[in-house]
């Protein structure tokens, strides 16, 4: 067991204060109480039973595979926000060969979850049957969705503004003198892909005066992966693109790889812009210019909406769009004259 002196030193309070906290005595501020509890956690000691918060219930968190860094980022934010509200998160990841989303939901229902947060799930697939979500809502289960929108599903949706993201990326590249700008994007059946396509067409028209028909010729569809980004970038480079906007950071990394394989230098010969601002992209060579998703704000808003619904408060069944941010790094530069 930790000594009072060790805990006091870690929490930067007196031993008497530690004793008051451990024995649930009055006269200690909430901030000081939390400092002592954190000190216990840091030192690796189990909290006394009187300091343990009872869980407000289980909440399911269903995310895609975790190889794309943006999904662990969402998971971390959401789990932290749930824990602060005393919910116990149950993480369900859909790695290849694992349970499907429907199987995870069935398991979560068997465990009596109070609600579920879906991140980039089947709600983002326009070809999927969304009755699965209506059934959950009819059962009275609170659900919240992140990145994607399903028409007719009466629940909160939290999304990054994909149209604004494309405008930021294209505007930046156009100001650098690029006129042959391509888009490496995932399948159109997914709502974020569809919206990015629409935003790209609008942005090329706004900043370069391109017609919608011409803008669509500068799109290359692939899958949301490093290999998919490389394949799409190869096609765009063969068309003569001097800049490539990508649907994800993973695709952008693939695009840089494809550019180098083609003998091009990034950004001297071709500029690349990603989307997400996932961990470590700032440490690539070159560091990746990208459009940042406001993951923290989105995750916290989703949890707040879910917590309100669980407590019986009215929650608007609508989509909340969050403004992205262009993060300038070394993968974009002026177009060659």
Task: Decide if 333 is inside a domain.
Answer: no
Same domain, 213 and 302: no
What's 292's DSSP letter?
Answer: E
Same domain, 126 and 217: no
Who's near 127: CB < 8 A, 6+ residues apart? 189
Q: The domain containing residue 139 runs over which residues?
A: 57-160+294-322
Task: Decide if 329 is inside a domain.
Answer: no
Same domain, 97 and 19: no
Same domain, 170 and 270: yes
Average pLDDT taken over every residue of the chain: 93
Q: Averaged over 258-284, what is the pLDDT?
A: 95
Supply the pLDDT for residue 97. Answer: 74
Same domain, 245 and 213: yes
**Do 252 and 266 touch, CB atoms closer than 8 A?**
no
- Range with the poorest average pLDDT among 44-48, 97-101, 228-232, 272-276: 44-48
The answer, yes or no, to whether residue 73 has pLDDT greater than 80, is: yes
Domain count of the chain? Answer: 3
Task: Decide if 332 is inside a domain.
Answer: no
Give me the CATH number covering residue 153.
Answer: 3.40.50.2300
Give me the CATH number covering residue 29.
Answer: 1.10.260.40
- Please report, for residues 22, 94, 104, 144, 262, the alpha-carbon distance to residue 62 in angstroms, rounded to integers and kept in the order given: 37, 8, 8, 11, 39
Task: Decide if 230 is inside a domain.
Answer: yes
Q: What percent of the chain has pLDDT over 70?
A: 97
Residue pLDDT, tens place only, 124-160: 999 999 999 999 999 999 999 999 999 999 999 999 9
- Residue 98: phi, psi to the nearest 5? -90, -170
Provide DSSP, 164-176.
HHHHHHHHHHHHT
Residue pLDDT, tens place only, 290-337: 999 999 999 999 999 999 999 999 899 999 999 999 999 999 999 987
The answer, yes or no, to whether residue 211 has pLDDT greater than 60, is: yes
Same domain, 180 and 234: yes
Handedness of CA 201, 202, 207, 209 (dihedral sign): positive
Residue pLDDT, tens place only, 188-199: 999 999 999 999
Same domain, 183 and 268: yes
Supply the pLDDT for residue 2. Answer: 62
- Residue 262: phi, psi to the nearest 5? -85, 5
Same domain, 16 and 31: yes
Supply the pLDDT for residue 265. Answer: 97
**Do 223 and 186 touch, CB atoms closer than 8 A?**
yes
Same domain, 175 and 261: yes
Binned at pLDDT 50, 70 and 90, residue 99 comes out as confident
Supply the pLDDT for residue 67. Answer: 85
Q: pTM for the whole thing?
A: 0.84
Task: Decide if 70 is inside a domain.
Answer: yes
Same domain, 100 and 191: no
Higher-pLDDT residue of 180, 54:
180
Task: Decide if 280 is inside a domain.
Answer: yes
Q: Averaged over 226-237, what is the pLDDT?
A: 97
Q: Which of 215, 291, 199 is nearest to 248 (CA)?
A: 291
Same domain, 206 and 265: yes
Residue 69 pairs in a beta bridge with none
Task: Decide if 138 is inside a domain.
Answer: yes
Same domain, 223 and 277: yes
Task: Decide if 327 is inside a domain.
Answer: no
């Amino acid at each position: 067991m930790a000594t009072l002196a060790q805990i006091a030193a870690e929490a930067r309070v007196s031993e008497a204060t530690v004793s008051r906290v451990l024995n649930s005595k009055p006269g200690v501020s909430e901030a000081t109480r939390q400092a002592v509890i954190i000190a216990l956690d840091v030192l690796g000691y189990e909290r006394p039973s009187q300091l343990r918060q009872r869980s407000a219930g289980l909440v399911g968190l269903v995310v895609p595979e975790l190889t794309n860094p943006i999904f662990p980022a969402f998971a971390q934010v959401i789990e932290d926000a749930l824990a602060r509200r005393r919910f116990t998160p149950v993480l369900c990841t859909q790695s290849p060969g694992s349970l499907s989303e429907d199987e995870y939901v069935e398991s979560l229902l068997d465990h009596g979850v109070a609600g579920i947060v879906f991140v980039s799930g089947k709600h983002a697939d326009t070809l999927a049957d969304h009755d699965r979500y209506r059934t959950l809502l009819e059962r009275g289960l609170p659900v919240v969705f992140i990145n994607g929108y399903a028409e007719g599903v009466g629940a909160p949706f939290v999304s990054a503004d994909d149209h604004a993201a494309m405008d930021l990326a294209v505007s930046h590249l156009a100001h650098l003198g690029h006129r042959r700008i391509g888009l490496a994007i995932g399948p159109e059946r997914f709502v974020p892909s569809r919206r990015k396509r629409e935003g790209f067409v609008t942005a090329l028209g706004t900043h370069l005066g391109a017609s919608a028909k011409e803008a669509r010729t500068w799109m290359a569809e692939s899958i949301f992966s490093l290999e998919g980004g490389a394949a799409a970038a190869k096609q765009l480079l063969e068309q003569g693109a001097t800049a490539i906007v990508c649907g994800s950071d993973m695709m952008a990394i693939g695009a840089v790889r494809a550019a180098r394989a083609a003998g091009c230098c990034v950004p001297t010969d071709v500029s690349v812009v990603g989307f997400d601002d996932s961990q470590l992209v700032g440490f690539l060579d070159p560091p990746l210019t990208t459009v940042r998703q406001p993951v923290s704000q989105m995750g916290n808003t989703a949890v707040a909406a879910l917590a309100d619904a669980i407590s019986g408060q009215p929650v608007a069944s609508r989509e909340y769009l969050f403004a992205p941010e262009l993060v300038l790094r070394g993968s974009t530069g002026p177009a060659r004259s």
